[in-house]
Amino acid sequence: MIKFETILNAMDEGVLIVNEENKIVYFNNAYGDFIGHPLEEVKGLILTEIRKGARMPQVLKTGKPMEVVFREEKGEEYFANIYPIFENGKLKGGISTVTFLKNAKFIMDTLKELEKKQADLKERMRHTNGTRYEFQDIICQSSASIKCVEAAKKIAQSDISVLIDGESGCGKELYAQSIHNESLRKEYPFVAINCAALNGNILESELFGYEGGSFTGSNKNGKPGIFEIAERGTIFLDEVSELDYNLQAKLLRVIQERKIRRVGGTSEIDIDVRIICACNVDLMKYIEDKKFRKDLYYRISTFPLHLPPLRERREDIIPLVEKHLKVLGIQQKRNLSISEEAKMILYKYDWPGNVRELNNVLEYSTVVCHDNEIGVSSLPPSVLADWNKSDYHFKPLAEAVRLFEKEQIKKAVELYGGTVEDKKYIAEKLGISLATLYNKLNDQ
């Protein structure tokens, strides 16, 4: 049988054992090489006689371990984990393991590689069910967005119908996919269709499928519709307000009966899907104008989820900018950045096209910017025209930046609170020190 010492001496990590009096009992070859003494020379000596800065005495005194302690000594950088040794509740000594940074770097690189592979695998798995997004992909710095995500997570586990409304470009499909990926149906397909993109007859065949020879140009073997394709998964009906009025009646029956009949078919097919709908208009107004069925509205809106426009959640703007710049930087193989002045202009802009417009603006700006930094001159004329009309434009730059910072800090305190811990969190989020945050708060 291999001796215990042989096993420890085969390790790259240093191992030290002391008794309750902090006297050296044992260490392996790696630890001996580190301190520059063989075991026979120092065995029985008090550890601090040869290593003045050792943390072992503190562990022996408190009886509490110290984990992942970074140290630098004799030109070596390392991490130490120090644990007390107890026997029948009585302190008997301590053990320390030392991972040298040259080895730790290899371990960290390996872990990073494994994390990357895991992320890649997760991304591929997400694509297999027809989705790209999860709740973690949603930027929610503003209280409005936080409330939306919290509400969406609550109903994700249920099977109730959801109606997501909001202006164009707000991220309705982002939420729909996230709800699906948080649900019990996440292993099954997510199938989206835009109801405004197809006319009534074609849309009907896309939804419910058709039998062979049902119409000119149809597949002779027929074709399943998305209600069949999405079996046990989720169907996302975007711009549901634009459904043909007659088709609305058929959809209502499908939702009620949980059965479909293909175009040109006679038999009914059982279905098991969750339905999430979205619109960017006032459906109640559509109902008043006889454009949308009231009974269908109540069937699809068991849980209404309103997404506010970007201008009503300005705290999300800069994080969205930074996130999309990272994506563009990877795509373009560039180290992209944005100036504080340009950030302020984007923050004050009202974004009628919401996140979709924001992404388009950044893509435009990365094409025309110099030295990989988006400055004011890199922003499109539409954004600058709006900025030129604002009061901020006519303030000295330092004053404008100060007002911008003041507004950001005020909203952050309102959102996260005013305790010391809250302010530490706010400072971290804003990328400044706690002392700087207090100075800026005192200036307000």
Mean pLDDT value across residues 297-305: 96
Tell whether 244 and 145 lie within a shared domain. Answer: yes
Is it the case that residue 298 has pLDDT exceeding 70?
yes
Q: Tell me, what's the pLDDT at 389?
A: 62
Mean pLDDT of 216-244: 88
pLDDT at position 390: 61
Query: Model confidence at 93, in pLDDT bands (50, 70, 90)?
Result: very high
Is the domain of 147 the same as that of 293? yes
Of 177-186, 213-222, 386-395, 433-442, minimum mean pLDDT range: 386-395
**Residue 20 φ then ψ, to 5°:** -65, -15
Whether residues 423 and 398 share a domain: the answer is: yes
Better-predicted residue by pLDDT, 215 or 271: 271
- 171 & 235 share domain: yes
Task: Please give the share of the chain, as a percent, with pLDDT higher than 90.
Answer: 56
Query: What is the tens place of the pLDDT at every residue in 146-199?
Result: 999 999 999 999 999 999 999 999 999 999 999 999 999 998 999 999 999 988
Work out the average pLDDT over 83-93: 87
Residues 304 and 321 in one domain: no
The rounded distance, in Å, linking the Cα atoms of 293 and 249 is 8
pLDDT at 360 (0 to 100): 96
Q: What is the CATH number of the domain that holds 303?
A: 3.40.50.300
In this predicted structure, the answer to whether residue 1 has a pLDDT above a threshold of 70 is no
Percent of the chain with pLDDT over 70: 88
Q: How far apart are the first and last CA of the chain?
A: 72
Do 163 and 286 contact (CB within 8 A), yes or no? no
For residue 424, what pLDDT is reported? 84
CA-to-CA separations, 345 to 169, 340, 370, 374, in angstroms, rounded: 20, 9, 18, 12
Tokens linked to 153: 């997570």
Confidence of residue 301 (pLDDT cuts 50, 70, 90): very high
Domain presence at residue 130: no
Helices (H), 276-396: 283-288, 294-300, 317-332, 340-348, 354-368, 381-389
95 with 200, same domain? no
Q: Is residue 127 part of a domain?
A: no
Boundary of a domain, candidates 79, 103, 127? 103
pLDDT of residue 125: 52
Residues counted in the chain = 444
Span 57-76, average pLDDT: 82
pLDDT, residue 88, reads 79
- Whether 394 maps to a domain, the answer reads yes
* DSSP letter for each residue of 192-225: EEETTSS-HHHHHHHHH-B-TTSSTT--TT-B--
For residue 164, give every residue at least 6 positions away whose Cβ sits within 8 Å of its Cβ, in sequence order, or none: 172, 175, 176, 276, 277, 278, 279, 305, 306, 307
Residues 364-418 have pLDDT tens digits of 999 999 889 999 999 999 898 877 666 555 556 666 677 777 777 877 887 777 7
The pLDDT of residue 34: 87
234 phi and psi angles, rounded to 5 deg: -130, 140
pLDDT, average across residues 49-73: 85
Cα dist. 326→27, 82, 374, 412, 434 in Å? 47, 39, 13, 24, 26
Amino acid making up residue 333: K
Evaluated on CA atoms 433, 437, 440, 442, the torsion sign reads negative
pLDDT at 427: 84
- Domain co-membership, 183 together with 141: yes
Does residue 302 register a pLDDT over 90?
yes
Residue 287 CB neighbour total at 10 angstroms: 15
Q: Is residue 32 part of a domain?
A: yes
Residues 33 and 89 in one domain: yes
Say how far apart CA 276 and CA 278 lie, in whole Å.
7
Mean pLDDT of 324-330: 92
The residue among 241, 227, 254 whose CA lies nearest residue 293 is 241
CB 132 within 8 A of CB 64: no
The pLDDT, as a whole number, for residue 436 is 83
DSSP per-residue string spanning 258-273: SEE--BT--S-EE---
Rg (CA), the chain: 31
Residue 129 lies in a domain: no
Q: Is residue 114 part of a domain?
A: no
At 214, is the pLDDT very low, low, confident or very high (cuts 50, 70, 90)? low
Burial 291-319 (b: 16+ CB within 10 A, else e): ebbeebbebbbebebebbbbeebbbbbbe
Is 80 exceeded by the pLDDT of residue 80?
yes
Same domain, 176 and 296: yes
Between the CA of residue 27 and those of 19, 92, 120, 189, 321, what are the distances in Å? 12, 16, 41, 57, 53
The DSSP element (H or E) to which 256 belongs, if any, is helix 245-257
As a whole number, the mean pLDDT across the chain is 87
pLDDT in tens, 17-58: 999 999 999 999 999 988 889 999 999 999 999 888 888 999
- 426 and 355: one domain? yes
| Neighbouring-strand partners of residue 255 | none
Among 248, 283, 308, the domain boundary falls at: 308
CATH number of the domain that residue 31 is part of: 3.30.450.20
Check pLDDT > 90 for residue 78.
no
Residue type for position 282: D
Element housing 14 (H / E)? strand 14-19
CATH code of 430's domain: 1.10.8.60
Same domain, 419 and 367: yes
pLDDT of residue 328: 92
Query: Domain boundary at 308, 330, 353, which?
Result: 308
pLDDT digits (tens, 9 = 90+) for 348-362: 899 999 999 999 999
**Mean pLDDT across 421-438:** 82
Asked if pLDDT for residue 426 goes beyond 80, the answer is: yes
Domain residues for the domain of 41 are: 4-103
- 335 in the same domain as 298: no
Asked if 96 and 80 touch (Cβ cutoff 8 Å), the reply is yes
Q: How far apart are CA 66 and CA 53, in angstroms?
A: 14
The confidence score (pLDDT) of residue 396 equals 62
Residue 121 lies in a domain: no
pLDDT, one tens digit per residue, over 102-127 is: 655 555 666 566 666 666 655 655 56
Whether residue 335 is contained in a domain is answered as yes
Number of domains in the chain: 3
Is the model more confident about 41 or about 79? 41
Strands 337-338 and 373-374: parallel
Euclidean distance between CA atoms 372 and 337, whole angstroms: 6
| pLDDT of 155 | 96
